[in-house]
C-alpha cells in the first residue's frame, strides 16, 4: 500500500499537515480515523471543511477506516490518528507498512522524548511491538526533518 | 465596546497588538493567546475557553491567523456551543481597520466590512503601478 501514509498527530488536520505534509505527499485525500469525531456531527462537518483546496477530507471510525483502506484505491491517502492506542486498533484490522509519529502532546504519565513527542511507557511499548512486526515506525514532525526510527525489542 | 481575542501560532497576535500601538495607540479590550512549540492542543483549547467564557457572543470577535491551523481548530471547537464571530486569515491592515471600526459599527457591520475590505489589503504593487 504505497499510496497510504499513516500519521499519529493529536492535532490531526492542522498547520504542519496542511502546509507541509499534504503537498510533500501529494495527497489528494485525508482520512481522519477517530471514533469520537466520526460520531460527532459538528466535529465531522468542521473537520471536513478544514482541508485545503483539492483535497477530500473524510472523518471515519477506526473500523470504517480499516475497511476503506482495504479497498482498492488509486488515491494518495494521508491517514491521521489522534493517538497511539487508535493506531494499535487500526493495525489490528489493516496492514500498513509505514507509520509516522508526528505529534503527541504532554500529559500526565507521559515523558518528553523528542520535540513535540511525549509518550507513556505503555505507548512506547506499543510502538516497539509494532516495530517488531517489521513495520517501519518513524518519528518525524515535518517532512524536512530527519526521521528517527523506533526499533523493536 | 466589542472585545477582541486573537489566537495565533507563536506570538503573532501579541506582536500584532504591539505593532498596532504604533499606528492607533493602545488597543483596548484586546487579548492574545499564543500557541507555542510544545504546547498541547488541549491546553490551547482550555485557554480559548477561559478567554471566551466570561464574554457573551455579541460582545466578542475572535481572530485566528490561518485557516485549518491549530488556533483556528481550537476556536472552532469552542464554537460548538457558542456563536461569536470568528475571522481567520487576519493581517495588519485588516486588524487595524476592525480595531478602529469597533467604536462605531455593530458586529454585523464589522463582519460585512471585513468581507468587503479584507481582500483589498493585499496588493501586487508592481501591477498597480503599471496599470495606473
pLDDT at A1: 57
Q: A1-14, pLDDT tens digit by residue? A: 569 999 999 999 99
* A136-139 vs A148-149, strand pairing mode: antiparallel
> What is the Cα–Cα distance from A51 to A53, expressed in whole angstroms?
7
Asked if A52 lies within 8 A of B73 by C-beta distance, the reply is: no
Query: Considering only CA atoms, which of B70, B66, B12 is closest in space to residue B38?
Result: B70
Which chain A residue's Cα is nearest to B70?
Answer: A14
Q: How many domains does chain A fold into?
A: 1
**Contacts for A147 with CB less than 8 Å, ≥ 6 apart:** A138, A139, A140
Q: Inter-axis angle of helices A121-132 and A84-93, to 10 degrees? A: 30
pTM of the model: 0.83
Residue A45 lies in a domain: yes
Q: Domain span at residue B113?
A: 3-131
Interchain contact, A106 vs B70, CB within 8 Å: no
Average pLDDT of adjacent 10-residue blocks, chain B of 132 residues: 95 97 92 92 95 94 95 96 93 90 87 81 82 60
Cell numbers at residue B116, please?
468587503
Domain membership of residue A63 (yes or no) is: yes
pLDDT tens, residue by residue, A58-107:
999 999 999 999 987 789 999 999 999 999 999 999 999 999 999 999 88
Question: What pLDDT score was predicted for residue B128?
Answer: 77
- Taking one residue from A and the other from B, the number of pairs with CB-CB distance under 8 angstroms is 44
CATH of the domain at B91: 3.40.50.510
**Domain, as residue range, for A92:** 4-144
Q: What is the pLDDT of residue B101?
A: 87
Q: How far apart are the first and last CA of chain A?
A: 25
Asked if residue A152 belongs to a domain, the reply is no
In angstroms, the CA B120 to CA B88 distance is 16
Please count the structural domains in chain B. Answer: 1
CATH number (domain holding residue A79): 3.40.35.10
Tell me the three state secondary structure of residue B72: helix
Amino acid at each position: 500500500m504505497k499510496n497510504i501514509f499513516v500519521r499519529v498527530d493529536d492535532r490531526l488536520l492542522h498547520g504542519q499537515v496542511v502546509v507541509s505534509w499534504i503537498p510533500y505527499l501529494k495527497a489528494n485525500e485525508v482520512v481522519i480515523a477517530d471514533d469520537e469525531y466520526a460520531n460527532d456531527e459538528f466535529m465531522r462537518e468542521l473537520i471536513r471543511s478544514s482541508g485545503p483546496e483539492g483535497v477530500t477530507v473524510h472523518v471515519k471510525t477506526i473500523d470504517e477506516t480499516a475497511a476503506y483502506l482495504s479497498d482498492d484505491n488509486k488515491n494518495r491517502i494521508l491517514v491521521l490518528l489522534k493517538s497511539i492506542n487508535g493506531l494499535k486498533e487500526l493495525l489490528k484490522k489493516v496492514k500498513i507498512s509505514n507509520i509516522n509519529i508526528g505529534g503527541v502532546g504532554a500529559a500526565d504519565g507521559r515523558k518528553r522524548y523528542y520535540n513535540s513527542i511525549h509518550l507513556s511507557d505503555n505507548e512506547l511499548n506499543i510502538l516497539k511491538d509494532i516495530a517488531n512486526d517489521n513495520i517501519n515506525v518513524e518519528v518525524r514532525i515535518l517532512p524536512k526533518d530527519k526521521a528517527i526510527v523506533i526499533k523493536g525489542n | 465596546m466589542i472585545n477582541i481575542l486573537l489566537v495565533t501560532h507563536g506570538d503573532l497576535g501579541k506582536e500584532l497588538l504591539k505593532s498596532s500601538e504604533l499606528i492607533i495607540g493602545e488597543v483596548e479590550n484586546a487579548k492574545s493567546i499564543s500557541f507555542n512549540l510544545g504546547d498541547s492542543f488541549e491546553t490551547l483549547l482550555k485557554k480559548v475557553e477561559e478567554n471566551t467564557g466570561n464574554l457573551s457572543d455579541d460582545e466578542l470577535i475572535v481572530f485566528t491567523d490561518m485557516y485549518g491551523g491549530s488556533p483556528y481548530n481550537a476556536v472552532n471547537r469552542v464554537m460548538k456551543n457558542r456563536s461569536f464571530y470568528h475571522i481567520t486569515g487576519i493581517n495588519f491592515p485588516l486588524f487595524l481597520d476592525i480595531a478602529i471600526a469597533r467604536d462605531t459599527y455593530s458586529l454585523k457591520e464589522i463582519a460585512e466590512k471585513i468581507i468587503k475590505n479584507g481582500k483589498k489589503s493585499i496588493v501586487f504593487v508592481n501591477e498597480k503601478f503599471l496599470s495606473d
